[in-house]
């Protein structure tokens, strides 16, 4: 079945550091890929998405590129801020299942220290 693998956390960085959170996937179809973010005490919210190979999703300074050849969708940000502290989830939807469901990775907890 489909699966999403994220880098283990937690990740702690200093403010203005460069961020990479790795995400790879396995899917039976040609999936759409997503990053969701969960701020403390809140539900998940969509950060960015990409629906086909070589697409780049971007939002709030975060970027991720859909790499079909390496089945990856790594999240990057050039200069992180304290307000970026949250849990980040990589996810996919598979057209072989009608794109009706999201399959999530385990999440990566990010803490930014001033």
Partner 1 sequence: NAGVTQTPKFRILKIGQSMTLQCAQDMNHNYMYWYRQDPGMGLKLIYYSVGAGITDKGEVPNGYNVSRSTTEDFPLRLELAAPSQTSVYFCASSYGGFEGRTEAFFGQGTRLTVV
Residues that bind partner 1 (CB under 8 A): 4, 6, 32, 34, 36, 41-46, 49, 51, 89, 93, 95, 98-107
Contact 55, 66 (CB under 8 A): yes
Q: Which is nearer to partner 1, 18 or 30 (CB)?
A: 30
CB 111 within 8 A of CB 50: no
Whole-number minimum distance, CB 32 to partner 1, in Å? 6
Angle at 2 between CA 104 and CA 22, to 5 degrees: 50
User: Are 31 and 95 in contact, with CB atoms under 8 Å apart?
Assistant: yes
Q: By C-beta, is 1 or 114 nearer to partner 1?
A: 1
Beta bridge partners of 89: 36
For partner 1, give the closer residue by CB, 17 or 46: 46
């Amino acid at each position: 079945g489909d699966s999403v693998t994220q880098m283990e956390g937690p990740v702690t960085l200093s403010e203005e550091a460069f961020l990479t959170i790795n995400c790879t996937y396995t899917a039976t179809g040609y999936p759409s890929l997503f990053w969701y973010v969960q701020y403390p005490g809140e539900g998940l919210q969509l950060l960015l998405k990409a629906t086909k190979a070589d697409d780049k999703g971007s939002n709030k300074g975060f970027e991720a590129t859909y790499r079909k050849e390496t089945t990856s969708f790594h999240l990057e940000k050039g200069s992180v801020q304290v307000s970026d502290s949250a849990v980040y989830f990589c996810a996919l939807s598979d057209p072989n299942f009608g794109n009706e469901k999201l399959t999530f990775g385990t999440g990566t907890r990010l803490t930014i220290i001033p």
